[in-house]
């Protein structure tokens, strides 16, 4: 079936069912808005398996996602949704762009999670925005921004516990949401949740197990991802 969209880490294909798409996870990796690029054997497989496990776990806790079914080692079937151009980032510990922007040392824990929004636009480098920007740019209403924040907090609570049981600290993550197009008009979790989109540190050693291994040239990128998958499988 036809290619509908190709992003940096995934491709979306149409299927026989107009409400369902096939999401293929690619081996390519990019960082810093694709200024840095590479390819890692089995990244697609690992991220597909990790996303599937996390989505199933979230569904079991009552979080609605666009997951429909597992297909094969690099493909999932997902409900067709209109992706909101608001990326939702949740931070439990200072790292990444937060530390860079405001000078708070990496590893500083927050008393409460920080939820922030960015405009999903590669052209503009996914800039930080707030509810007023989202409203004026027509990306989401005030009420929807509040809904995204609430959903993100619930997802954070559930994932903190899940990763903790796997010996991993959930430092931060980015999620995306979509509006269903089948008439139900609800907002569900969409896209992927993987070491590409989360920071995960080993609770014992503090070792980084996520895409920061690629961003910071730490080496063993896929070993980190494989370890995350193994821990999740042992836990599930
Ligand atoms: P940041 O600290 O670079 O803003 O990243 C926060 C979290 O969001 C981190 O877990 C990585 C994830 N992320 C993405 O998934 N995609 C992106 O394009 C960026 C910039 C971050």
pTM, two decimal places: 0.97
Average pLDDT estimate for 92-120:
98
Q: What percent of the chain has pLDDT over 70?
A: 100
d(CA 163, CA 37): 28
User: Is the pLDDT at 119 greater than 90, yes or no?
Assistant: yes
State the distance from the centre of ligand 1 to the C-alpha of 214, rounded, in angstroms. Answer: 13
State the distance from the centre of ligand 1 to the C-alpha of 170, rounded, in angstroms. Answer: 13
- Show the ligand 1 pocket: residues with CB < 6 angstroms: 89, 95-98, 126, 172-174, 197-199
Ligand 1 atom at minimum distance from 96 CA:
2
Phi, psi of 235 (to 5 degrees): -85, -35
Average pLDDT estimate for 189-210:
98
Pairing of strands 86-93, 109-119: antiparallel
d(CA 186, CA 192): 18
Q: 3-80 architecture in CATH?
A: 2-Layer Sandwich (3.30)
pLDDT at position 136, please?
98
Average pLDDT estimate for 151-164:
98
Band of pLDDT at residue 34, cut at 50, 70 and 90: very high
pLDDT at position 64, please?
97
State the distance from the centre of ligand 1 to the C-alpha of 183, rounded, in angstroms. Answer: 31
pLDDT at position 184, please?
85
pLDDT at position 183, please?
83
Please name the helix (run of DSSP H) or strand (run of DSSP E) that holds residue 45, with its range, or none.
helix 43-60
pLDDT at position 236, please?
78
For the domain spanning 82-220, the CATH number is: 3.30.470.20
Phi, psi of 189 (to 5 degrees): -65, 135
Q: What are the sequence ranges of the domains in the chain?
A: 3-80, 82-220
State the distance from the centre of ligand 1 to the C-alpha of 70, rounded, in angstroms. Answer: 26
Average pLDDT estimate for 139-165:
98
Phi, psi of 149 (to 5 degrees): -65, -45
């Amino acid at each position: 079936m036809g290619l509908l969209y190709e992003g940096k880490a995934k491709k979306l294909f149409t299927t026989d069912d107009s409400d369902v798409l096939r999401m293929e996870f690619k081996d390519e990796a990019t960082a810093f808005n694709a200024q840095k690029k590479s390819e890692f054997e089995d990244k697609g497989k690992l991220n597909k398996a990790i996303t599937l496990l996390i989505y199933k776990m979230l569904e079991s806790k009552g979080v609605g996602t666009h997951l429909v079914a597992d297909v094969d080692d690099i493909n999932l079937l997902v409900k067709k949704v209109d992706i909101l151009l608001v990326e939702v980032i949740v931070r439990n510990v200072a790292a990444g762009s937060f530390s860079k922007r405001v000078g708070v040392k990496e590893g500083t824990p927050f008393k409460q999670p920080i939820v922030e929004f960015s405009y999903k636009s590669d052209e503009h480098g996914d800039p930080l925005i707030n509810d007023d920007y989202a409203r004026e740019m027509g990306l989401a209403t005030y009420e929807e921004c509040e809904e995204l924040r609430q959903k993100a907090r619930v997802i954070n609570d559930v994932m903190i516990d899940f990763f903790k049981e796997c010996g991993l600290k959930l430092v931060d993550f980015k999620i995306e949401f979509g509006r269903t197009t089948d008439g139900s008009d609800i907002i569900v979790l969409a896209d992927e949740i993987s070491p590409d989109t989360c920071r995960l540190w080993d609770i014992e050693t503090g070792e980084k197990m996520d895409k920061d291994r690629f961003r910071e040239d730490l080496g063993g990128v896929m070993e980190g991802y494989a370890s995350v998958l193994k821990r999740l499988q042992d836990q599930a």
